[in-house]
Structure 1
Amino acid sequence: MTHWSVPYIGLPWREKGDTREGVSCWGLGVLLYREIAGITLPTYAEAFATSSERAEIAAIIDGATSAWPWNLVLPGQERNLDVAIFRRAGMDTHVGLICGRGRMLHITHDQESAIVDYRSGRWAHRLAGIYRHADLMERPLGL
């Protein structure tokens, strides 16, 4: 059986993208939630001009994770489709999607979407928190 994340590996980067033709890090989450969980997430595309606007993106992430529908997940309790938030340049500006214990599916502007270990290497010291959407708190996804 193929892992659910395989069709999302190798997607190209696109500024503010949220389709299979190209995604940003948040756009990858928008795409996964739409296709896998049937949940429509806001794109926040109007809130910033480019992904280089770190302060604006950090403010969006802070506002989104500090209120409903996102719930903080305790370490070791993460599961598929939880959203992992990472610090870059001292601000919470990067998003990955949990796809197994210690693994995340993510994309950066210089690479295609890929699965990496977020508990070691360049991401481990940057992890700011993991969040679960309220609609997934009790609902098993069967992934």
Structure 2
Amino acid sequence: MIGVPWANRACSFENVDCWGLVVLYYRHALGIELHQTPDYEAGADFFTCYQGDVVFWRQVDKPVDGGIFVGYRGAQPAHVGLVLNRQALHSRGENGSVRMDSLLVIQRAFTKVEFFEYGVN
């Protein structure tokens, strides 16, 4: 997936946005269909989509392999990616692509980073 171009609301092996990458990983690597609100496919802004879907995730104190990170710009969630082998696999915004970065790079790029694992207790 490294190098696959970013495209808004894309969830395929040809183009993918940050949430689409998470969906593809869970679907094809873990065999799990993530719950998604209709807001994503309807083109709602990231914050609206986040509010609808975060209830299906459990926040954890530290990165969990196979979990996700959520990066904030100010007080608003703005980006999501996967945590794999203590690295961040994510699809960068416009003119970007899927890439692997250290979690430290992610933590420096955002005002706040939170970590989640799928499922609620």
TM-score range, shorter chain: 0.7 to 0.9
Deviation of 1:64 (Å) = 2.0
- Kindly report the root-mean-square deviation, in angstroms, between the aligned alpha carbons of the 2 structures: 2.2
The higher relative CO (CA closer than 8 Å, separation ≥ 6) is in: 2
Distance 1:92 1:25, change over 3 A: same
Partner of 2:50: 61
Q: Which has the higher strand share?
A: 2
Larger Rg: 1
Q: Cα deviation per residue 1:104-132 (whole Å; 9 max; x = unaligned)?
A: 001112221000112246336431x1110
- AA aligned to 1:80 is D
Deviation of 1:39 (Å) = 1.2
Partner of 1:141: none
Q: How many Å separate the matches in 2 of 1:116 and 1:125?
A: 17
Q: Is the 2:73–2:110 contact (alpha carbons within 8 Å) kept by the matching residues of 1? A: no
Q: Cα deviation per residue 1:60-88 (whole Å; 9 max; x = unaligned)?
A: 213322x2x3111112xx22221100013
Partner of 1:39: 32
Taking structure 2 as the reference length, the TM-score comes to: 0.82
Taking structure 1 as the reference length, the TM-score comes to: 0.70
- Taking only the aligned residue pairs, the percentage that are identical comes to 27
Structure 1 unaligned segments of length 5 or more: list them.
1-7, 49-55, 138-143
